[in-house]
């Protein structure tokens, strides 16, 4: 069942097209990584899903409903962090739990569980202004998941966290995924997206330029990437009509073939020319795919 369905949403600010005709859907249990350079339109899109910004065109449907009554089914961690600095930690969480219509007995139980899990229990009765930036970040993450949302939307969830707490948040995200929570998160950490997501969507200049299951996306890009170890002259690297670009590391070379050039034909071309020690079709990383796709579409000024 589709937890979220977005159809043809667009948003302009004066003459700037921040989001341009984006459509996608996610099923229960999916983890979707929303990727893109700064100013691509990621946050604007998320704000439309959250009904913070109303789209100029298109619809957002959550659990087969376009009504605001589904808001309590969502947990949202915005990119801009902000909590009540003069309030005590526990009072902030109780207040936010009440807004999500949690029973106080359940809220208190969940608060204690997550404070222990994220090593914040001894700060329970401290004011927010006494907490470090990283502690405040963990507090907001707790507030996002406290009411056990069906859909979790995290905008740059690892921002401001040290490596230890980043690892902890990733572990919790994987646990939530295993328990059936549907998750959308935007990030610049390609390695995190690669490990956590089963689907990705790449946005650039407000447009959705790449999307799909991560395995399929990597497979489509990997057909043209070659890891080659060889002996002999390297003249063929500049002379071959098969090669789009290459990086020569001395003892090996990474080659990207042109889109319409089969790797087997390239292999046949170089067999008589060099001594091949290793010829391997290489699966690209998400970072490779991100850089190649964004560069191929060019860059413009910030959209967010």
Please give the mean pLDDT across all residues of the chain.
89
pLDDT confidence band for 295 (50 / 70 / 90) = confident
C-alpha to C-alpha distance for 175 and 179, rounded to whole angstroms: 6
**71, two tokens:** 């808001």
SS3 track for 182-238: EEEEECCCHHHHHHHCCEEEEEECCEEEEEEEHHHHHHHHHCCEEEEEEECCCCHHH
**45, two tokens:** 């899109």
User: Strands, E, within 67-198: which ranges?
Assistant: 74-77, 151-155, 182-186
Q: In the chain, what are the domain boundaries?
A: 2-212, 219-297
Overall pTM surpassing 0.85 (yes/no): no
H or E stretch at 42 = helix 42-49
Per-residue pLDDT, 301: 45
Look-up of token digits 């097209």: 17
Return the SS3 of 72: helix
> For residue 61, is pLDDT > 80?
yes
Per-residue pLDDT, 39: 86
pLDDT confidence band for 109 (50 / 70 / 90) = very high
| Max Cα-Cα span within the chain | 76
C-alpha to C-alpha distance for 131 and 137, rounded to whole angstroms: 10
Provide, for the chain, the percentages of residues in helix, strand and coil under a 3-state DSSP scheme, each rounded to the nearest 5.
40, 30, 35
Q: Which CATH number fits domain 219-297: 2.40.128, 3.30.70, 1.20.58, 1.10.600?
A: 3.30.70
> For residue 30, is pLDDT > 60?
yes
Mean pLDDT of 224-249: 90
C-alpha to C-alpha distance for 209 and 294, rounded to whole angstroms: 9
Q: Say which CATH topology domain 2-212 has.
A: Rossmann fold (3.40.50)
**249, two tokens:** 């590391």
Per-residue pLDDT, 300: 46
Per-residue pLDDT, 83: 80
pLDDT tens string 121-176:
999 999 999 999 899 999 999 999 999 999 999 999 998 889 999 999 999 999 99
C-alpha to C-alpha distance for 246 and 257, rounded to whole angstroms: 9
C-alpha to C-alpha distance for 148 and 152, rounded to whole angstroms: 9
């Amino acid at each position: 069942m589709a937890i979220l369905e977005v159809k043809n949403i667009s948003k302009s600010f004066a003459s700037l097209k921040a989001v341009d005709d984006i459509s996608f859907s996610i099923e229960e249990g999916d983890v979707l990584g929303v990727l893109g350079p700064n100013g691509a339109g990621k946050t604007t899109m998320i704000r439309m899903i959250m009904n913070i910004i109303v789209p100029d065109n298109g619809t957002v449907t959550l659990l087969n409903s376009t009504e605001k009554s589904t808001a309590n089914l969502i947990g949202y961690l915005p990119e801009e962090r902000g909590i009540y600095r003069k309030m005590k930690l526990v009072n902030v969480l109780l207040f936010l739990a009440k807004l999500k219509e949690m029973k106080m007995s359940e809220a208190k139980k969940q608060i204690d569980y997550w404070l222990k899990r994220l090593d914040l229990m001894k700060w329970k009765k401290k004011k927010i202004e006494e907490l470090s930036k990283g502690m405040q970040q963990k507090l907001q993450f707790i507030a996002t998941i406290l009411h056990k949302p069906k859909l979790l939307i995290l905008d740059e969830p690892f921002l401001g966290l040290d490596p230890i707490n980043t690892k902890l948040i990733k572990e919790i995200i994987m646990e939530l995924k295993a328990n059936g929570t549907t998750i959308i998160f935007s990030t610049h950490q390609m390695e995190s997206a690669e490990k956590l997501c089963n689907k990705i969507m790449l946005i650039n200049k407000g447009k959705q330029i790449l999307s799909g299951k991560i395995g399929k996306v990597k497979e489509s890009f990997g057909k043209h990437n070659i890891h080659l170890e060889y002996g002999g002259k390297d003249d063929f690297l500049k002379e071959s009509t098969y090669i789009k670009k290459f990086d020569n590391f001395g003892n090996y070379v990474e080659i990207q073939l042109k889109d319409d050039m089969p790797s087997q034909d390239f292999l046949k071309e170089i067999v008589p020319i060099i001594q091949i020690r290793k010829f391997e079709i290489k699966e690209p990383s998400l970072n490779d795919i991100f850089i190649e796709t964004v560069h191929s579409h060019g860059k413009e000024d910030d959209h967010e």
